[in-house]
Amino acid sequence: MPGSDSGGRWPAAAASLVIGAVGRWRPAGTGTDGPLIVAVDGHGAAGKSTIAELVAAATGATLIHTDDFFVSPASGQRAAGEAVGRYYDWRRLRAQALQPLREGRSASFRRFDWDRGSGLDGTVRAVPGDVVIVEGVFSAAPVLADLVSRSVFVDTPEPERLRRLRGRVAPEDWDDDWLSAERAYFSTVRPLTSFDLAVSGSDPVLPGSEAVTCA
């Protein structure tokens, strides 16, 4: 869900690690003539948006948000533990954003209307570049893997994530089914060890080297 948390040391520290990784990954490319597309994934309120915005500002990367492709399931159609992909129009994300950018073309799409909680809002236009950052839950999903070059996991303790979420989401809008689906996604579909890099989304920074190279 939209929003960012920018207090403390962690945003700059985490962004610096991702910027360094982008610098290493970019020369190697992706085995194609296309841009380097980096997914910044993680649980809701982990700090993905904050980190991705800093990385994009520093590298000149094109920035895409999976929240723009959010889909609100109809009442009564949600089930605890259901795949988190149900909450995203990933086919539209592929066709209208990632595929054009991968091919060096401009992308144009309408974004989810978060104010109304349904439907689509204004049009987003994204220009192609050498680096594309796609951030948000589900950005590193297997159904996007052929378009995504590298993946970053933003690792934030659950108590901190829930504290941030409760500060943003009204009690009547709280969605336990979403949290259950999200946990299932990161425990079985996209566990930490499947990412190329993990960075901390909170203070203090992760112990040791401050980053985990996962693959």
Average pLDDT of every residue of the chain? 86
| Residues making up the chain, counted from first to last | 215
Supply 36's token pair.
């380097």
Reduce the DSSP state of residue 153 to 3 states and report it: strand
Reduce the DSSP state of residue 17 to 3 states and report it: helix
Reduce the DSSP state of residue 51 to 3 states and report it: helix
Compute the distance between CA of residue 103 and CA of residue 5 in angstroms, rounded to an integer. 33
Q: What is the pLDDT of residues 5-62, one digit of tens each?
A: 445 578 999 999 999 999 999 875 544 568 999 999 999 999 999 999 999 999 999 9
The closest of 89, 86, 82, 87 to 184, measured between CA atoms, is 82
Q: Which domains does the chain have, with CATH numbers?
A: 10-213 (3.40.50.300)
Residues 168-174, mean pLDDT to the nearest whole number: 78
Note the pTM of the prediction, 2 decimals.
Answer: 0.87
CA distance to 23, 45, 84, 169, 192, per residue, from 188 (Å) = 30, 20, 12, 26, 10
Q: What is the pLDDT of residues 104-128, one digit of tens each?
A: 999 999 999 998 888 999 999 999 9
* pLDDT at 204 (0 to 100): 57
Least confident of 40-49, 92-101, 132-141, 196-205: 196-205
Compute the distance between CA of residue 84 and CA of residue 187 in angstroms, rounded to an integer. 12
Residues 166-190, mean pLDDT to the nearest whole number: 87
pLDDT band at 169 (very low <50, low <70, confident <90, very high): confident
* pLDDT at 9 (0 to 100): 78
